[in-house]
Structure 1
Amino acid sequence: MAQLVRFLVVGGVSFTIDYGLFTLLYAVGVAHLAASATSFTVSLFVNYALSRKYVFDVNEDVNIVREFTAYVGLNVIALGLNTAVLYICADIMGMSPFLGKIAATAIVLVYNFISRKLLLERIGPRPRSENFI
């Protein structure tokens, strides 16, 4: 349960970056799908660093370049899901792109937790400081 709470806190930080940048880009005239893809990608880097540090019990012996490459691969799928849901909500159903972005984020949340847990956790976890939730 504590891990899920940490995941949600880190996700909240990432969502704030994602949604804030999306809003800014959309407000200055960037198309909603392009704004969403850009903001999602930026928040991906922050989420990776925070997830490794605070959420998952990672094995420090793993090749971080290889791990990050796999992480990006998993997030290409998440970006596809995010974009598809936003497209369906905004372009097909006529919802506001802002509401569509929130719906997309909520749907992708479950996929993100499962995929990141499987990727970042390894056998023989390192000791975790309980100072962060």
Structure 2
Amino acid sequence: MFRRTFWFSTGVAAGVWATTKVNRKLRQLTPESLAATAANKAVEAGHRLKDRAVGFALDVRDNMAQREAELGDALGLNASADPELPAPGRPPALEQGVPPSRRPTAENRTKPKYAEPTTYSYNRNEDH
């Protein structure tokens, strides 16, 4: 009698466990769940890629500044002719050939030459 009760309860427990496992796996395989999983993985991959790109950009910027300093020292651009005078500063590259009256400021900025895009209705039944 105890044997039968033991095996019956073992069978019930195994059935409940198997049913729970199957239902959980079926919920994971629904289209909504698969789409959410794919979206989460894509977001995580995007964050990893962004972190690596930012790190790479910072490394490039540091190496660029170091190399620019080396070239400035090699060409004598960083050394001043008179020890009492500071080294001559360079004007920004964008404003070198532009006279001060033509440099962009808040007052003399021009608006873009293109017009604002017009909105269109994309109703397929509208033309028929």
Structure with more helix by fraction? 1
Judge same fold: TM > 0.5, yes or no: no
For Structure 1 versus Structure 2, the TM-score category normalised by the shorter chain is: under 0.3
Structure number, greater radius of gyration: 2
Q: TM-score, normalised by structure 2?
A: 0.25
